[in-house]
Amino acid sequence: MGRIDSHQHFWRFDPARDAWITDDMARIRRDFLPLDLQPLLQAHGFDGCVVVQSDQSEAENAFQLANAAAHDFIKGVVGWVDLRADDVEERLAHYRQFEKLKGFRHVLQGETDRMLMLRPYFQRGIAALGPHGFTYDLLILPDQLLAAAELAAAFPSQPFVLDHLAKPPIKAQLVEAWARDLHALAAQPNVCCKVSGLVTEADWQHWQPSDFGPYLDVVFAAFGPQRLMFGSDWPVCEVAGGYGRALGMVEAYVQPFSAEAQDLFWGGNATRFYGL
């Protein structure tokens, strides 16, 4: 499959729906569509990408699946279903017909109930994913890492992937508590992790590549080369330096690794995890 960007987004900007895009993120208050990303992927030697939901609706699935059907470089879609709904089995059965729909995500980081993923009605939805072959992306914050570890332990055959390293407090340069809880999640062998979304957790205007070393050291030690994959988090990364700069920081870090480890990181692990 070659080089895969395992985490990016497309949207037609809607100020009400996309209220998470605040005033200080004005650069991304516009449409971002496949033809905006394709030249970036080509310029940086990527063969394909995985698009991840940013709106919690089934209309989002239809939009992203249409994008994927129209563009071969979109290799997979991570969509959304209401895992708490009574008809979750029915919805998952419906989505099996779409070959490029690989898994689902819920915006757990934004939930008032920080332990939502451990509630029986949510776990019933997680249990339904496995028989249909769907993956699950964990979008959480550091305070939810231990709950995520408990979730992953409860479903040992369910493939999980952690998005954005759970958004460590890079700008505040705090490592210890996050690192401890990240190791607890990484101890579950069914969990992978995306090296994605880091630049937006740093000082957007002034970050240096050295700011990320302590966090990358932790995640590579915790997960190892077999369970890590690159994701750009484009276009969100545009608020903090853009695609090329975010990518370059990670490329410099992994440059000393073996050719085999780099092949896994840049595409092999994403291809295996999502079944691309």
Could you report the per-residue pLDDT of 202-250, keeping only the tens digit for each?
999 999 999 999 999 999 999 999 999 999 999 999 999 999 999 999 9
In the beta sheet, which residues pair with residue 136? 104, 160
Tell me the DSSP string of 89-115.
Answer: HHHHHHHTT-TTEEEEEE-GGG-SSTT
Could you report the per-residue pLDDT of 138-164, keeping only the tens digit for each?
999 999 999 999 999 999 999 999 999
Is residue 1 very low, low, confident or very high in pLDDT (cuts 50, 70, 90)? low
Distance CA 47, CA 31 (A): 23
Q: Are 9 and 235 spatial neighbours (Cβ–Cβ below 8 Å)?
A: yes
Both structure tokens of 76: 């997979």
The number of domains in the chain is: 1
- Read off the DSSP letter of residue 267: I
Could you report the per-residue pLDDT of 41-62, keeping only the tens digit for each?
999 999 999 999 999 999 999 9
Q: Are 218 and 259 spatial neighbours (Cβ–Cβ below 8 Å)?
A: no
Kind plus residue range of the DSSP H or E element containing 215: helix 213-223
Among 154, 167, 213, 172, which Cα is nearest to 194's? 167
Distance CA 183, CA 267 (A): 23
Is residue 98 very low, low, confident or very high in pLDDT (cuts 50, 70, 90)? very high
Is residue 199 very low, low, confident or very high in pLDDT (cuts 50, 70, 90)? very high
Q: What is the CATH number of the domain that holds 190?
A: 3.20.20.140
Could you report the per-residue pLDDT of 84-93, keeping only the tens digit for each?
999 999 999 9
Distance CA 200, CA 238 (A): 9
Is residue 271 very low, low, confident or very high in pLDDT (cuts 50, 70, 90)? very high
CA distances from 149 to 127, 134, 141, 205, 260 (A): 16, 19, 13, 33, 28
Q: Which domain holds residue 31?
A: 4-274
What was the pLDDT predicted at 230?
Answer: 98
Backbone angles phi, psi at 101, to 5 degrees: -80, 110
Give Cβ neighbours of residue 88 (< 8 Å, ≥ 6 apart): 81, 82, 124, 125, 128
Both structure tokens of 270: 């994403």
Backbone angles phi, psi at 234, to 5 degrees: -70, 145
Average pLDDT over residues 127-140: 98
What was the pLDDT predicted at 172?
Answer: 96
